[in-house]
Amino acid sequence: MAMIQPSFSFSHEFTYDVFLSFRGTDTRNNFTGNFYKALCDGGVRTFIDDRELHGGDEISPSLVKAIEESRIFILVFSINYASSSFCLDELVHILHCFKANGCLVLPIFYDVEPSNVRHQTGSYGEALAKHEERFQNNSEKDKNNNMERLHKWKMALNHAANLSGYHFNPRNNGYEYEFIQQIVRFISNQINRVPLHVVDYPVGLQRQVLKVYSLLDVRSNDEVKVVGIYGPGGMGKTTLAKAVYNFIADQFEFGFEFKLRNSSEGISTIKQRLQRKKVLLILDDVDELKQLQALVGGLDWFSVGSRVIITTRDKHLLASHGIDVTYEIRELNKKEALELLRWKTFKGSNLFGKHIEEWNSLLDRYERIPNKGIQKILKVSFDALEEDEQSVFLDIACCFKGLVDGAM
């Protein structure tokens, strides 16, 4: 059984590693300024905005573009963050990117209680009340639009405050520079991950990634969730798992690669390294119930918010372990299959540029001699059958030998 190393990125290049969202009058000349310098000194490409140095009541198109070109978002929630409509609009757009692209959003509660942000109490409640009072004086049309805007702000604050992050009280939590260095190390580890190679031609992959992503429900941090991916060999279960991993890995704090010699080693290794951490773990090509029992064990091994993805050929194996959130790998539809054929034929095939006679010759050979790669994959499924099941399979196969398609 293989263990997959975590990484990030499905198919996207970013201009910035980090986008800093903060209230300038609170932290620009102290915490955020020092944090920005530490990130830059660490080689982290960081976007910091001077929006408060120019006028206007809405975030600019250039700022929206910077948000959409950033990989990780750090929200510095300070006392007066919610008093700025800039910050709140920015927050809403950041969380939109989080939902759409699976980017990492990391809240830092600087000299403010997370509960104040989550429930809009204290200075956050006061700031939102002032916004509402201001909107009440608008024209009816503007009032309705701005009240909807206010609702989005409240939802975004609640959502962001429920994400895993950091809390720092400058009076009680020791040296600020040590706190900053801790976060910089975490960010550096995230951006230095090398994405797994998935496939050269990811035709039809994105729709399946998004379906598994919805099953994982990574925005929920109140439980450990296990999702099983099942289907015949050669259908792309491992490819799909890698793509999902690359898509969401930055939202998790821990990951590593190790090779297991036996299941008992797996128990001690996972418990030792992953316990009480929010992890994304993929167990690939699981074929026996005892493997699943030994390697996953109790879900209390992992911190809440962790996700485990299991790939297997056997749906019943997942059910036997109580895993009821599953996804059946899908074959390509006709349109996707044709697109893949075009890619393989015209973009990288060894038949590219060859005469039609050579194409026909190879097609004839494939009809007579099975492709070794495909035959090997199919044989794994055959070998997994019981002896009497193999006999039945071979008897049925003999009935089809020499028949024309559609004859039965």
- Give me the active site residues, please: 90
Count of all residues that appear for the chain in the document:
408
- Host H or E run for residue 389: helix 387-400
Structure tokens at 46: 């960081």
**Residue pointed to by tokens 């056997």:** 314
Structure tokens at 132: 């509402």
CA–CA dist 242, 257 (Å, integer) = 13
SS3 content of the chain, % helix, strand, coil (to 5): 55, 10, 35
CA–CA dist 307, 304 (Å, integer) = 9
CA–CA dist 278, 166 (Å, integer) = 14
Closest CA to 102 of 14, 226, 194: 14
- Measured in whole angstroms, the distance separating CA 218 from the mean position of its chain's CA atoms is 8
Residue 232 three-state SS: coil
Where are the extended beta strands (E) located within 293-352? Answer: 307-312, 326-328
CA–CA dist 100, 94 (Å, integer) = 10
Number of H helices, E strands in the chain: 17, 10
CA–CA dist 152, 154 (Å, integer) = 5
- Measured in whole angstroms, the distance separating CA 227 from the mean position of its chain's CA atoms is 14
Cβ distance 266 to 25 under 8 Å?
no
CA–CA dist 328, 374 (Å, integer) = 20
DSSP 254: B
CA–CA dist 78, 367 (Å, integer) = 68
Structure tokens at 387: 């002896």
CA–CA dist 255, 189 (Å, integer) = 10
